[in-house]
Chains A and B, each alone.
Chain A
Amino acid sequence: MEELKDEPFALIGVNSDRSVEVAKAAIEKNGLNWRSFQNSVEGKSEISADWCIEAWPTILVLDKEMKIRYRGHGGEEATVVARELLASMKSSGE
């Protein structure tokens, strides 16, 4: 998704690893550069529980109004939806 870095596009993670260290090691190892929420923060309900996530990975694609346009487990499917949204934003001059 490197080629989308100049587009109005944000890749945001919600990380469910048992510790920040594990997550950071994965980021280092795989050269990931997206910003992630910590799924579990003491004193707050887990984001994945609030979002009824039952399988990992789960991906959602939100449009510019934060409306849900995709929810599922297919990275490629989600990427297609995201590209279509970006294309339609571009064609409407945004």
Chain B
Amino acid sequence: MPTRSWIPIGLLLLVSASPPVAPALAAPPPPALATLDTPEEECDALIEELDEANQQWVDKYHAAVTEAKEAGTDIPAFSWNNPSIGSFVKRFQAFADKYAGSDGAIPFLAWIAVEGGRSDVKLAKAAVEALCTVHASSEALADHAESIGEWIWIVGRERGAQLLKQLEKTSPVPAVAGWAADYRLEPGLDGAVSGTEAFTKLKAELLAVGETSKDEQLIALITKQLRILEVFALGAVAPDIQGIDLDGAAFALSDYKGKVIFLDFWGDW
């Protein structure tokens, strides 16, 4: 899951909202973060509270394990889902409702879209729907562009493809349009089969989308997806590997040409 930069947005707003430096004033400014006055800050605070609750949940589990070991009883099963997640989803949703229709709802909906499905799939789906329709033309979606690729899996491929296509057309932010367009390179979607005319067109479109977005991470993703679709497509001749074995002896994958090769990328860790 891509990590998102929740905090900088709120800070940026604060920085840009502060007046130019006034050296004559000796009094220090009031503590800026004492109150939560933007939805982004409210959302960050809620996420922080959830992180703490999750940590407590994990600590509690560790304590239970220690206790079980000492008592010689069975180690309890662990659910990665903090049981309080449901109440958090409701609180995120309450904020999304409070700011419904405005940019303030976006950080909450973006959180519900990606995380909320663990306790309430219906709300997660509704959040994706709202982000791709009500908020499709908002510039504030830019802060959540990297999670757009996950939305398709929440609402299901077919509906997701419709929504992202719409978002790609509607968004004024090139990075948002780009991340929305990227689903089209998902193997099996949109008939992306290399060697076809449709693929040539798709490739050109996606490369252009990437370039316009100026988003390095998106460009890297598109480049990699295209490489998987082209170089590693079923039926394509695999590239050779020239390397060394575990004893240091040089050999090549093509040494085994003529045989059926079962190539296993493995590790013991």
Q: Is B76 an interface residue (CB 8 A)?
A: no
B245 touches A57 (CB 8 A): no
Question: What separation, in Å, do the CA atoms of A16 and B265 have in the docked complex?
Answer: 7
A52 touches B227 (CB 8 A): yes
Partner of B243, one of A26, A41, A62, A65: A41
**A4 → chain B, closest Cβ, in Å?**
9
**B81 → chain A, closest Cβ, in Å?**
23
B264 touches A8 (CB 8 A): no
A11 touches B244 (CB 8 A): no
Question: What separation, in Å, do the CA atoms of A53 and B169 have in the docked complex?
Answer: 32
A25 touches B228 (CB 8 A): no
Question: What separation, in Å, do the CA atoms of A11 and B262 have in the docked complex?
Answer: 5
Partner of B238, one of A17, A27, A68, A79: A68
B268 touches A17 (CB 8 A): yes
Q: Is B71 an interface residue (CB 8 A)?
A: no
**A64 → chain B, closest Cβ, in Å?**
5
Q: Which residues of A contact B260 (CB under 8 A)?
A: 7-10, 61-64, 82, 85-86, 89
Binary CB contact string for chain A from 26 to 60 against chain B (1 if under 8 A, 0 otherwise): 11000000111111010010011011110011111
**B238 → chain A, closest Cβ, in Å?**
5
Interface residues on A, range: 35 or more
Question: What separation, in Å, do the CA atoms of A74 and B261 have in the docked complex?
Answer: 15
B265 touches A8 (CB 8 A): no
B266 touches A56 (CB 8 A): yes
Q: Is B204 an interface residue (CB 8 A)?
A: no
A23 touches B246 (CB 8 A): yes
Binary CB contact string for chain B from 234 to 265 against chain A (1 if under 8 A, 0 otherwise): 11111111011110000101101111111111
Question: What separation, in Å, do the CA atoms of A15 and B265 have in the docked complex?
Answer: 6
Q: Which residues of B contact A67 (CB under 8 A)?
A: 235-238
Partner of A37, one of B231, B238, B244, B262: B244
A66 touches B264 (CB 8 A): no
Q: Which residues of A contact B228 (CB under 8 A)?
A: 52
Q: Which residues of B contact A27 (CB under 8 A)?
A: 246
B241 touches A37 (CB 8 A): yes
Q: Which residues of B contact A37 (CB under 8 A)?
A: 241, 243-245, 251, 253
Q: Which residue of B lies closest to A52 (CB)?
A: B228
CB contact list, B152-206 vs A, under 8 A: none
A14 touches B264 (CB 8 A): yes
13 sample A-B contacts, Cβ–Cβ < 8 Å, listed by A number: A10-B260, A11-B264, A12-B253, A12-B256, A16-B266, A17-B268, A36-B246, A37-B251, A39-B265, A41-B244, A50-B239, A51-B232, A59-B263
Closest 8 CB pairs of A and B: A26-B268, A37-B243, A16-B267, A10-B256, A62-B261, A8-B259, A60-B263, A58-B265
